[in-house]
Amino acid sequence: MNNRSQNRIIIDGVEVEFSNGETIYEAATRHGATIPTLCYDPRLNPFGACRLCVVEVEGVRNPVASCTTKATPGTVVHTSSPTLDLHRKTLLEMVASENDALAVDPLRGYASQELTQLVAQYRAATDRFAGQHSGHSKFEDDNPFILRDYNKCISCYRCVRVCAEQEGDYAISVMNRGFHTQITTEFNGLLRDSACTFCGQCVQTCPTGALGDKKALRFIEENI
Amino acid sequence: MSIIANHELIERWRNAPAPLLPLLHAFHDRDGYLAAEALRAISAALRIPLAELYGTVTFYHHFSREPQQPQRAPRVCTGPVCALRGGQELCHALADQGATAMPCAGRCDEPIPVLQGHQVLVGSAADDLVHRPAPLPPPNPGSLPECVFAEIRRPDRATLTGYENSGGYSGLRKAVQEMTPQAVIDLVSASKLAGRGGAGFPTGRKWQAVCDAVGTPKTVVCNADEGEPGCFKDRVIMQYDPHAVIEGMILAAYATGATRGFIYLRYEYPEIQPLLERAIDEVKAANLLGPQILGTDFHFELYVRRGAGAYICGEESSLLNSLEGKHPFPRNRPPFPVTHGFADLPTAVNNVETLASAAQIMRRGADWYLSLGMNGQVGTKVISLSGDIERPGNYEVPFGLPLKTLLYDWAGGPGAGRTIQAVTMAGLSGGFLAGDALESATLDEPSIRAHGSMLGAAGIIVFDDRRNMVAAAHNAMTFFAHESCGKCFPCRIGTQRLRERLNGEGPTGVESWLAEVADLGRTMKAMSACGLGMAAPLVTESLVRFFPAQVEQYVDGHKSHAGWE
């Protein structure tokens, strides 16, 4: 079977090739499409939580998450449309409503500006859908490396997944459910009492700065 | 008094299939809560990282982590039906016993259920709680032929002898001794039986897909996690006709080539577990289950696993994660359970009513089942009817029966001097139907969908003209917010924001309130990862559509409104 001729999909009007097992997100972004994400990290298994990466697939009623949907031959995909953009904007407004102010020091971590940037890009309002906040910062965790400012957490689980999938430490997980979901360690304790090795992977993948690099922040405080 | 040691409990379960839930229950039963030491022991024995196990335990409503909240304390249903009957007040009245509220416990045709230890008591006041079995389905008032309820009222139907005396297991004997698995699938396909848990996927096609899928061992799962508020049909089937469910599972196994099966039973039906396990033992002794069934090479083992209080585990992929001892988030699909189900192997997940129907169809034939519908529809559906109605209960209706025939002719209509203001559909998941729909809808998916709702698992809750529909919508949204798993953003945030907006919070102007509620709902419906987040906004959507005056009055009174909570 000649895969080269068969593995083709149409993304935003352009026919492109995909490799076996590739997701719509991977194929689309490899060919230059920009698709917003919050729970995505290319190193991790696709998770499908934030739903920002949904795309329209012709013949399918609801938009599908491009990060978890495998490309199949002949699929016609639209990565952007007025409807999709409206849903993404509304979703970002919902996300912005669950926490306190969005702006965080970029030194908190490599990915810490992702949410702020998307909110600006989609001109999402930060004063809609006001209501209860979901995060509970754990400032009492006085370890010298990792700031746990969960008031800014959006429960994308990138920290939990990187800890399990990249480090194999399984030090953190998710407790409770729904809006009461929290990132936790065993028995909701301090990182030093958990299986955490302070590798810092969780800090660098956090898209909101809810986890922060205390050493970097301390360096600035002390030197500037 | 000797207490069973940790290692004895662990040895009992560690090598059993799907061991986490029964092991957690064993410790929970022993101690009344799950102590840190218990979780450490389980984590080590089952090789589940401690943080993950801890997180998973906190997911379930009925696992206590605190010694001062033992499971012996009363848990009182405050669901949408019990809210009409004083559930909250009863919970307050039992406060001195440490009572807490629980979501709908599936006894909606009775006074308020109270779960205490492994018993469900029912009653209206603190001093008249009694332990008794759920009522049998009322006799079919239309004298129409039934399928799953055809034999359920026979007094000894729940025993193997009684079941066999009324035709039970004759379909299975015929299938195993005279038919090929493909012939069984063809017969079920010909009957047009479809999933009765609400999704309506053709059962024959599902069995065919599992049969054709590569990979063994294959599994049959009976989804008995009937968590939808206002639905209590699976309970009555399992209680009075457990062998029909078991026969359906054995048939499914024969058809698909599965060698193991699980009944995933919701936590709130504690009395059903020993009943099912006794029935399984009887069937094993009769060589209808286990190795070499009826002297053939067909081998099938069946286990009961009890949930721990999580509505989302009624979603089949969450259920499979729960069975496997994982965090019960729904899985991304595709792949579907028919190819990647339990332990990532081909699995048929079928609802209780579907399996019980399959057993009858095997015995009576596809043509018989095809003849049961009305008005061009095929087959029957058990409807759980509750709320402000004279004769609540489970009614098996032919698809296509007019809704008003059920409400007025069969169930006696609303109380004297009252009128029906609205009914819910699909328990809560279909939102409200009101107005003309009450006159013209028929009980089948095409008709209900044409009215903007869905029949689903077919729980119908009736609200008469006394009821405040905003309060009813708030109660419904509180349930969805409580049960949202927390994985996908639109549902996790959206159910919470809608709940707040129905509780006196959010914008104080009618226009901006309506705009926020509509925007939240639209994005939840389009973007949520599973049915929970897609269905929840039907509640607000139908509230606004059918009851604009009540909504306006409620939002206008917002500032002074303290909320229902």
pLDDT in tens, A174-192: 999 999 999 999 999 999 9
pLDDT tens sequence across A201-217: 999 999 999 999 999 99
Distance of CA B550 to the CA centre of its chain: 31
Categorize the per-residue pLDDT at B163 as very low, low, confident or very high, splitting at 50, 70 and 90: very high
Taking only residues 271 to 330 of chain B, the set having a beta carbon closer than 8 angstroms to any beta carbon of chain A reads: 310, 312, 327
CA distance B46 to B36: 15
Which residue from A90, A171, A180 is facing B51, i.e. has the nearest CB? Answer: A171
Per mean pLDDT, which range of A68-77, B81-90, B327-336, B554-563 is the poorest? Answer: B554-563
Q: How far is A37 from chain B (nearest CA, A)?
A: 12
Q: Look at B485 and A177 and tell me if their CB atoms are within 8 Å.
A: yes
Any A CB within 8 A of B33 CB = no
Q: Look at B526 and A62 and tell me if their CB atoms are within 8 Å.
A: yes
Nearest CA in chain A to B51: A186
Categorize the per-residue pLDDT at B3 as very low, low, confident or very high, splitting at 50, 70 and 90: confident
Q: How far is A33 from chain B (nearest CA, A)?
A: 20
Backbone phi and psi for residue B274, each to the nearest 5 degrees, phi listed first: -60, -30
Q: Look at B334 and A70 and tell me if their CB atoms are within 8 Å.
A: yes
* Residue (of B317, B185, B316, B160) closest to B246 by Cα position: B160
Q: How far is A116 from chain B (nearest CA, A)?
A: 17
Taking only residues 138 to 197 of chain A, the set having a beta carbon closer than 8 angstroms to any beta carbon of chain B reads: 154-155, 157, 164, 170-181, 184-188, 194-195
Q: Which two tokens stand for residue A185?
A: 């360690």
- Is-contact B193 B184, C-beta < 8 A? no
CA distance B459 to B476: 13
Whether residue B461 has pLDDT greater than 70: yes
Sorted by where each begins, the domain ranges of chain A are 3-80, 102-223
CA distance B489 to A49: 6
Summarize the confidence of residues B300-328 as an average pLDDT: 98
- Is-contact B9 B26, C-beta < 8 A? yes
- When the pLDDT of each residue in chain A is averaged and rounded to a whole number, the result is 95
Q: Which residues does chain A have within 8 Å of residue B334's beta carbon, measured at their own beta carbons?
A: 69-70
Q: Which residues does chain B have within 8 Å of residue A185's beta carbon, measured at their own beta carbons?
A: 51
pLDDT tens sequence across A11-41: 999 999 999 999 999 999 999 999 999 999 9
- Is-contact B532 A177, C-beta < 8 A? no
Q: Look at A187 and B52 and tell me if their CB atoms are within 8 Å.
A: no
| Cis geometry, peptide bond prior to residue B330 (ω within 30 degrees of 0) | no
For residue A15, the cross-strand partners are A10
Residues whose CB falls within 8 Å of the CB of residue A176, separated by 6 or more in sequence, listed in order: A182, B58, B59, B486
pLDDT tens sequence across A91-129: 999 999 999 877 899 999 999 999 999 999 999 999 999
* Residue (of B429, B276, B252, B232) closest to B341 by Cα position: B252
Per mean pLDDT, which range of B31-40, B65-74, B241-250 is the poorest? Answer: B65-74
Task: Please give the CATH topology (third level) of the domain spanning A102-223.
Answer: Alpha-Beta Plaits (3.30.70)
Q: Look at A173 and B528 and tell me if their CB atoms are within 8 Å.
A: no
pLDDT tens sequence across B478-523: 999 999 999 999 999 999 999 999 999 999 999 999 999 999 999 9
Query: What CATH number should be reported for the domain whose range is B160-370?
Result: 3.40.50.11540
Q: Which two tokens stand for residue B274?
A: 């020993």
What is the DSSP-derived secondary structure letter of residue A44? S
Whether residue A1 has pLDDT greater than 50: no
Find the largest Cα–Cα distance for chain B. 73
Task: Please give the CATH topology (third level) of the domain spanning B380-464.
Answer: Ubiquitin-like (UB roll) (3.10.20)
Any B CB within 8 A of A131 CB = yes
CA distance B203 to A24: 31
pLDDT given at position A2: 47
Q: Which residues does chain A have within 8 Å of residue B534's beta carbon, measured at their own beta carbons?
A: 62
| Cis geometry, peptide bond prior to residue B217 (ω within 30 degrees of 0) | yes
- When the pLDDT of each residue in chain B is averaged and rounded to a whole number, the result is 96
Task: Please give the CATH topology (third level) of the domain spanning B469-556.
Answer: de novo design (two linked rop proteins) (1.20.1440)
Summarize the confidence of residues B119-129 as an average pLDDT: 95
What is the interface size between A and B, counted as CB pairs within 8 Å? 147
pLDDT > 90: what percent of chain A?
Answer: 92
pLDDT given at position B70: 67
Any A CB within 8 A of B536 CB = no
Q: How far is A60 from chain B (nearest CA, A)?
A: 12
pTM over 0.90: yes
Q: Which residues does chain A have within 8 Å of residue B485's beta carbon, measured at their own beta carbons?
A: 177-178
Any A CB within 8 A of B482 CB = yes
Whether residue B456 has pLDDT greater than 60: yes
Summarize the confidence of residues B223-237 as an average pLDDT: 98
Task: Please give the CATH topology (third level) of the domain spanning A3-80.
Answer: Ubiquitin-like (UB roll) (3.10.20)
Per mean pLDDT, which range of A154-163, A208-217, B335-344, B553-562 is the poorest? Answer: B553-562
